[in-house]
A = this chain, B = another copy of it.
Amino acid sequence: MSEQRNLSINGDRLWQSLMDMAKIGATPKGGVCRLALTDVDKAGRDLFVDWCRAAGCSITVDRMGNIFARRPGRNNDLAPVVTGSHLDSQPTGGRFDGVYGVLAGLEVVRSLNDLGLETEHPVEVAVWTNEEGSRFAPAMVASGVFAGVFDLDYGLSRADPDGKTMGEELARIGYAGDAPVGRPVHAYFEAHIEQGPILEAEGKTIGVVTDAQGQRWYELNITGVESHAGPTPMTRRKDALLGAARIVDLVNRIGHQFAPRACATVGMMQVYPNSRNVIPGKVFMTVDFRHPEDATLAEMDKAMREGVAKICDEIGLGAEIDQIFYYAPVHFDDACIDAVRKGVAEHGFTARDMVSGAGHDACYLARVAPTGMVFIPCIDGISHNEVEDATPEWVSAGGQVLLRAILEKAGQVN
């Protein structure tokens, strides 16, 4: 493999492309708002397509609006190695989440051109539609259709809060392609910012992502008796918020109990009637459990159900627990993980194995293709926020590793 040593991407060009793309939908606070299938999303897609055509790629758009920019291989009958992510953002999103994986893929193509390298398999850079799910729920819907998780009709019929469907909006912005959704992929890689604080805190440049956490999402309705905060003695109260508060503490304890790999979060709570002098009669709350092992998620589920029952019995409350979403843990492909590790070793980057805490298009791709992910740090672990940031060095390092991993799977010819 000596001929592959010190193969370099152009880190400055990758950084500049990120900054240029960040102008589309730029917010005053330095982030971006590029909601899926808006005019701004179209402008981002157009710029990406222009860049890819300039790099000699052909463009295919499938019926979910997923874009594939293809650099031919020596044997174009072989399934492509695909890399990419998404261009859509949160309403108050940053300059890296999603777009980094897309433009790191473009930079790999540009660098292969600069280096005059041919690959056995074609290499494609993918843009997945509506990864964030901020405008059209659920998240990762178009990569989900690609992987057979959702039907095409389901995907196209997802509607935004104004009732506009993805199908209508794809047609409106000119990205309702005619290619079928889903086809063989030889390998899939996705580069992404970590969206958590671990790499930066440990001074590591690359996260070798071995797994993605499984998730269980719950909705709880806790029911007590609404009554007047003045004339109702403490001993006669059935305070739904007191129960909910103890459940928040319980969920946190479960997270610590199954540390270090468990996460347990109550993110949403709505109190009824939410009046300062009325004892709350009802609380709606959510629970988000994550762990890379299904068996542990089941243990967490059991601990929560038992704890909630005990808390509610003590106060005299009713509790309904609905698991509304289940997302199985993903173990990425060992050969793809190994290809990422080789890229790290090649360049001598500091690295550690990681479990992805967030969902990514790669989690669905992993169902239909050997898949790996490359993480780079983000400053203070902050993401889904206009202040989201990363350094040019991290951005460049992730691109280097991605190039190396793609070459490993696509087969370097010359």
- By a beta-carbon cutoff of 8 Å, the part of chain A in contact with chain B is 194-198, 201, 213, 215, 217, 226-236, 239, 241-242, 244-246, 248-249, 252, 255-256, 259-260, 262-271, 274-280, 286, 288, 290, 356-359, 381-385
Across-interface contacts of A278 in B (CB, < 8 A): 267, 384
Across-interface contacts of A290 in B (CB, < 8 A): 229-230
Please determine whether A381 and B232 come into contact, CB atoms closer than 8 angstroms: yes
Across-interface contacts of A275 in B (CB, < 8 A): 267-268
Distance between Cα atoms of A336 and B259 in the complex (Å): 64
Across-interface contacts of A256 in B (CB, < 8 A): 234-235
Across-interface contacts of A231 in B (CB, < 8 A): 194-198, 356-358, 381, 383
Contacting residue for A274 out of B213, B244, B268, CB 8 A:
B268
Please determine whether A274 and B279 come into contact, CB atoms closer than 8 angstroms: no
Across-interface contacts of A357 in B (CB, < 8 A): 228-232
Q: How far is the CB of A248 from chain B (nearest CB, A)?
A: 4
Known: A197-B227, A234-B255, A269-B269. 19 other contacts (CB 8 A): A196-B227, A196-B231, A196-B233, A197-B232, A228-B384, A229-B290, A231-B358, A231-B381, A232-B381, A233-B259, A234-B259, A242-B248, A245-B245, A245-B266, A265-B277, A267-B271, A267-B278, A268-B271, A269-B271
Q: How far is the CB of A52 from chain B (nearest CB, A)?
A: 30
**Total copies of the chain:** 2
- Show 30 residue pairs from A and B whose CB-CB distance is below 8 angstroms, ordered by the A residue: A195-B231, A197-B227, A197-B233, A197-B236, A198-B231, A198-B233, A228-B357, A230-B290, A231-B356, A234-B255, A234-B256, A234-B260, A235-B259, A235-B260, A239-B265, A241-B248, A241-B266, A241-B269, A242-B249, A245-B266, A246-B249, A267-B276, A267-B278, A267-B279, A268-B271, A268-B276, A269-B269, A269-B271, A276-B286, A277-B288
Please determine whether A262 and B234 come into contact, CB atoms closer than 8 angstroms: yes
Distance between Cα atoms of A293 and B263 in the complex (Å): 45
Across-interface contacts of A233 in B (CB, < 8 A): 196-198, 259-260, 263
Across-interface contacts of A288 in B (CB, < 8 A): 229, 276-277
Contacting residue for A358 out of B217, B230, B241, CB 8 A:
B230
Given contacts A196-B232, A269-B274, contact A227 B382 (CB under 8 A): yes
Q: Looking across the interface, which residue of chain B has its beta carbon closest to that of A378?
A: B231
Across-interface contacts of A213 in B (CB, < 8 A): 230
Please determine whether B229 and A263 come into contact, CB atoms closer than 8 angstroms: yes
Please determine whether B359 and A230 come into contact, CB atoms closer than 8 angstroms: yes
Q: Looking across the interface, which residue of chain B has its beta carbon closest to that of A236?
A: B197
Distance between Cα atoms of A356 and B353 in the complex (Å): 63
Distance between Cα atoms of A235 and B256 in the complex (Å): 8
Please determine whether A228 and B383 come into contact, CB atoms closer than 8 angstroms: yes
Distance between Cα atoms of A259 and B226 in the complex (Å): 20
Residue of A249, A264, A266, A278 with highest tally of chain B CB at under 10 A: A266
Q: How far is the CB of A50 from chain B (nearest CB, A)?
A: 32
Please determine whether A252 and B234 come into contact, CB atoms closer than 8 angstroms: yes
Please determine whether B232 and A263 come into contact, CB atoms closer than 8 angstroms: yes
Please determine whether B230 and A263 come into contact, CB atoms closer than 8 angstroms: yes
Given contacts A276-B217, A277-B288, A385-B226, contact A264 B232 (CB under 8 A): no
Q: How far is the CB of A343 from chain B (nearest CB, A)?
A: 22
Across-interface contacts of A260 in B (CB, < 8 A): 233-235
Q: Looking across the interface, which residue of chain B has its beta carbon closest to that of A286?
A: B276
Distance between Cα atoms of A58 and B349 in the complex (Å): 93
